[in-house]
């Protein structure tokens, strides 16, 4: 067999394997890929040239690329973070900061200073005090809380924290106690608001 025919036969075998893989009909696991299914002499002896093998290879590459490339309509769009998620992320970065009455950052906070700073970072201005924040945005029921929501405690809504999920808030509570997590059930719940 001539060198060209041998190369052509090898090329056809490789292309068949490539097309089978692209189409999802690859060889079974038990197939012996080292030996062709039919003797080389059974393959067509004429009609192949280096040029025709190159054309087949290029065609296979184009078909493979067309099958593998993702459809533009089904590409996943990156989800933009909600403002609430951004506010919560800011509050998390303040964990461990000290409490200071009237503190508005960058390293010491009171409860409403922390929540205001978090929402300012998220691109939303809210009032300075917890009572003012209790009128910002829209009212949210306890069962519909989302991360980043403002959660109020005690009579007169005198304390506020950022909802962190799983029944917890991040808050700045009192002198000597750093910014941290607390379970909502440890304080008397007084309502919640979603600034944006």
Query: One of 9, 111, 145, 169 is an active-site residue; which one?
Result: 111
Distance between CA atoms of residues 122 and 120, nearest Å: 5
83, 86, 159, 193: which one is catalytic?
Answer: 159
171 is catalytic: yes
Q: Nearest 5°: phi and psi at 99?
A: -85, 140
Q: Report the C-alpha gap between 97 and 117 in whole angstroms.
A: 13
Cα–Cα distance between 165 and 149 in angstroms, integer? 10
Catalytic residue among 116, 157, 171, 193: 171
Residue ranges in 94-182 assigned as alpha helix (H): 111-121, 130-133
Q: What are phi and psi of 124, to 5 degrees?
A: -130, 125
**111 is a catalytic site residue:** yes
Q: At what angle do helices 3-23 and 50-68 cross, to 10 degrees?
A: 10
Active site residue 121: no
Contact present, 85 and 148 (Cβ < 8 Å): yes
Catalytic (active-site) positions = 111, 159, 171
């Amino acid at each position: 067999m001539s060198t060209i025919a041998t190369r052509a036969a090898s090329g056809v075998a490789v292309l068949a394997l490539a097309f089978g893989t692209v189409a999802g009909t690859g060889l079974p696991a038990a197939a012996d890929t080292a030996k062709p299914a039919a003797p080389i002499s059974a393959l067509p002896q004429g009609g192949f040239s280096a040029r025709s093998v190159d054309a087949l290879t290029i065609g296979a590459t184009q078909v493979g690329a067309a099958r593998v490339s993702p459809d533009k309509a089904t590409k996943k769009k990156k989800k933009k973070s909600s403002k609430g998620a951004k506010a919560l992320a800011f509050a998390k970065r303040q964990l461990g900061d000290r409490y200071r009455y009237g503190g508005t950052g960058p390293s010491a906070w009171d409860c409403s200073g922390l929540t205001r700073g978090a929402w300012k970072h998220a691109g939303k201005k809210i009032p300075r005090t917890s009572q003012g924040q209790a009128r910002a945005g829209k009212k949210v029921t306890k069962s519909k809380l989302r991360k980043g929501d403002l959660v109020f405690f005690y009579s007169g809504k005198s304390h506020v924290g950022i909802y962190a999920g799983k029944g917890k808030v991040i808050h700045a509570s009192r002198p000597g106690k750093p910014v941290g997590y607390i379970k909502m059930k440890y304080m008397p719940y007084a309502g919640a608001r979603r600034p944006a």
